[in-house]
Each structure stands twice: as C-alpha cells, then as structure tokens.
Amino acid sequence: MDIKGLDDRALERVAEFFRAFAVPMRLKILNALRDGPRNVGDLTAEFGCSQANVSKHLAVLAQNGLIAKEAQGTSAYYRIVDPRIYQLCDLVCGHIGQHVADQAAVLDVFRGASRPKRSRRA
C-alpha cells in the first residue's frame, strides 16, 4: 500500500485522514481513549468544553475508522479501533523533536555558540 501512484481521489482521501489528526482536541480525545473506552459525558467533563463539540469530533474520528462506537443504555462508549495509530503519532512526535533540535542548533550558530560542529546541511 504505497502513496506513490495514487490518483486525485485517493489523495483527497489520504488528506482527509490526516485532517482527522490535525485538530488538538481530537488528539486529546485519542489520548484519552488510550486506556480504554470512554463515553461522551466523561470526555466532555474532562475537557471542559461543550458536549456538542466532543460529539462532533468523535463522529469525525469514527468516520475515518479510528474509533468505534458502542451504545450502552443511553450512553455511547467509544474505543480505539487499531492501537497502531499511536505508532503514527509517536513517529510524528519523534520527527518534531528532531526538527526542534535542529532549529535549536541553528539558533546556537546565530548566537555564536561554538558547539555546533556537525551541521553539515546545505
């Protein structure tokens, strides 16, 4: 499954998937679901935002196959479908960490720090 030869329609789908991760509140929700299913009221209380907001974000995540809903009485419990998504998040976090470190090194250069040495990067 390779992104290389995808047509416009498929690329739009991939972009939509990334968009599901592109909102801090949704990342919070995914984090909260790490330790097991939660219902809408719980999450609303935890984040201190409106119930409508949480419900909508959950719908977006579900629509992208990231979480699944299970009704229990009047409650709706959501759970992570595939824990591998956390690997994806961690990959990104790692990359950002690296990027931030690089920027810090560049800043050091501008500030005249004599430590950089290994910034052989065009």
Partner DNA sequence: CTACTGTATTACTCCATAGCGATTTAGTCA
Partner DNA sequence: TGACTAAATCGCTATGGAGTAATACAGTAG
- Of the listed pieces 38-46, 48-56, 96-104, 112-120, which binds its own copies according to CB under 8 A? 96-104
Sheet holding 67-72, edge to edge: 38-39, 75-80, 67-72
Restricting to residues 72-91, name those near its own copies by CB under 8 A. 82, 84-91
In the complex, least distance from residue 20 CB atom to DNA, rounded to whole angstroms? 8
* Helix/strand/coil for 84: coil
Rounded (10°) angle between helices 85-110 and 24-32: 130
Nearest approach, Cβ of residue 79 and DNA (Å): 13
Number of residues that bind DNA (CB under 7 A): 28
Under 8 Å between Cβ of 88 and 30: no
Of 30, 37, 36, the residue nearest 57 (C-alpha): 30
Residues that bind its own copies (CB under 8 A): 1-4, 6, 8, 11-19, 21-24, 26-28, 31, 34, 64-65, 68, 70, 82, 84-99, 102-103, 121-122
